[in-house]
């Protein structure tokens, strides 16, 4: 089994020992798509990292054509930010727990926040306000358990049994109401990739993964819809069908008894199909609705992974996250082999990410048929009437000083 380090070991992602799954992939084409989705996420993140927070006008004058060092975070070319770190935390939980364990996911996000776990620099950086607030609320709830049970170390409380957590009715949903930033979506891919063989479960858990840190139903439903697209791409659906206005209708059984929020349905119907892109209102900003539209626009308006990734970055603003979200779907559709070999060779911890993809593929066959997912209440944490629309909250870089993310993001 691929062993992920504990946070106190301070092992950087590129130094984690690579262990291959015990058997060859059942379907190399599927593995190519899973690898494409995870590498696509990280490549998009790394492409956008150097110009994150830069406005559209700056990108028009200085368009991104390749991975660059320096810029917003002073990273080396190929290093990635919070988007990939959180996706790797999520993937490491799915692999280590052989399934969806919401408490363990929050633990690993906490490790990233507190110790720089699975960060390309060994430090937590570029964290959004919404994500930070949810992780800090998780700390607070854990500390209540530590006091009650006289637990002395973080590691002990991080490894509490499911039975005790159930007894305590521990609530893993740590977000405030009305939080609909794109941080729920930027890390999503490991869930639909792990559960792609059971699409209804993949869609359901995609939504729940977002709700852990982003409590608005618009955020959850954006994750459900995008999770469905990733599953369909992995299963080989055509680009035409993925972007068809009836995709949601044609896959209704995947969404169960909870219809998508009307805002997300509008996107599924094709609100992103705007020929002039930015000039027609496409924005790579922090609200999940805007970023989802931007990522889908980049996929719809281009004909290769590389072209679409650059289109996503060159929208400006939340460049890394727009491109990371694009990369999850586009990578699943085009496949690993169709992502720029140059970018793949530069990408930080490339071998670890491809190894994670191989284990995701392996466990999707060996585990999803026999391991039940953690049972989380079917009821939504917040009513749809509390859902926040993009024009109801501050967006963009004006409401936050660098290097913090905008309030609406992450």
Binding-site sequence positions for Mg(2+): 81-83, 318, 320-321
DSSP for 3-55?
PPPPGGG---GGGSPP---SS--S-HHHHHHHHHHHHHHHHHHHHHHTTTT--
Write the DSSP symbol of residue 408. Answer: T
CA distance 362 to 286: 34
Q: What is the dihedral of CA 336, 312, 302, 46, to 10 degrees?
A: -20
Closest CA to 381 of 99, 180, 195: 180
Length of the chain: 410
Q: What angle do CA 113, 406, 286 make, to 5 degrees?
A: 105
CA distance 147 to 78: 43
CA distance 137 to 214: 12
The phi and psi torsions of 72 (rounded to 5 degrees) equal -55, -45
Using the CB atoms, write b or e for 78-93: b if 16+ within 10 Å: bbbbbbbbbbbbbbbb
10 Å CB burial of residue 197 (0-12, 13-18, 19+) is middle
Residue 398's contacts (CB-CB under 8 Å, 6 or more residues apart) are none
10 Å CB burial of residue 376 (0-12, 13-18, 19+) is middle
CA distance 144 to 19: 37
Residue 346's contacts (CB-CB under 8 Å, 6 or more residues apart) are 46, 67, 77, 78
CB 40 within 8 A of CB 357: no
Residue 305's contacts (CB-CB under 8 Å, 6 or more residues apart) are 36, 40, 327, 330, 331, 334, 338, 339, 340
Residues at the binding site are 81-83, 318, 320-321
């Amino acid at each position: 089994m691929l062993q992920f380090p504990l946070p106190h070991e301070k092992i950087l992602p590129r130094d984690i020992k690579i262990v291959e799954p015990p058997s060859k992939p059942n379907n190399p084409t599927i593995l190519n798509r899973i690898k494409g989705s995870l590498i696509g996420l990280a490549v998009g993140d790394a492409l956008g990292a150097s110009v994150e927070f830069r406005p559209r006008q700056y990108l028009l004058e200085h368009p991104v054509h390749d991975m660059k060092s320096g810029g917003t975070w002073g990273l080396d070319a190929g290093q990635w930010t919070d988007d990939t770190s959180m996706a790797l935390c999520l993937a490491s939980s799915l692999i280590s727990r052989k399934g969806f364990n919401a408490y363990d996911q929050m633990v690993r996000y906490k490790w990233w926040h507190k110790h720089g776990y699975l960060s390309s620099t060994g430090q937590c950086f570029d964290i959004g306000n919404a994500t930070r607030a949810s992780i800090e609320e998780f700390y607070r709830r854990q500390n209540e358990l530590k006091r009650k049970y006289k637990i002395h170390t973080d590691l002990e409380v991080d490894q509490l049994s499911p039975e005790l957590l159930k007894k305590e009715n521990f609530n893993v949903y740590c977000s405030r109401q009305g939080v609909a930033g794109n941080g729920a979506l930027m890390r999503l891919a490991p869930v639909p990739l792990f559960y792609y063989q059971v699409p209804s479960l993949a869609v359901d858990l995609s939504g729940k993964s977002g709700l852990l840190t982003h409590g608005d139903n618009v955020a959850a439903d954006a994750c459900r819809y995008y999770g469905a697209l990733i599953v369909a791409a992995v299963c080989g659906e055509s680009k035409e069908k993925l972007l068809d206005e009836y995709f949601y209708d044609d896959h209704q059984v995947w969404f169960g008894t909870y219809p998508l929020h009307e805002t997300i349905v509008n996107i599924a119907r094709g609100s992103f199909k705007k020929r002039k892109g930015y000039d027609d209102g496409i924005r790579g900003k922090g609200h999940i609705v805007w970023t989802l539209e931007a990522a889908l626009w980049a996929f719809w308006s281009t004909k290769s992974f590389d072209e679409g990734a650059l289109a996503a970055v060159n929208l400006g603003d939340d460049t890394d996250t727009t491109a990371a979200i694009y990369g999850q779907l586009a990578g699943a559709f085009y496949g690993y082999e169709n992502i720029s070999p140059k970018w793949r060779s530069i990408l930080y911890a490339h071998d670890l990410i491809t190894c994670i993809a191989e284990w995701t593929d392996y466990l999707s066959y060996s585990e999803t048929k026999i391991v039940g997912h953690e049972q989380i209440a079917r009821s939504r944490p917040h009513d749809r009437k509390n859902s926040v629309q993009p024009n109801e909250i501050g967006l963009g870089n004006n409401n936050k000083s660098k290097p913090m993310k905008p309030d609406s993001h992450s």
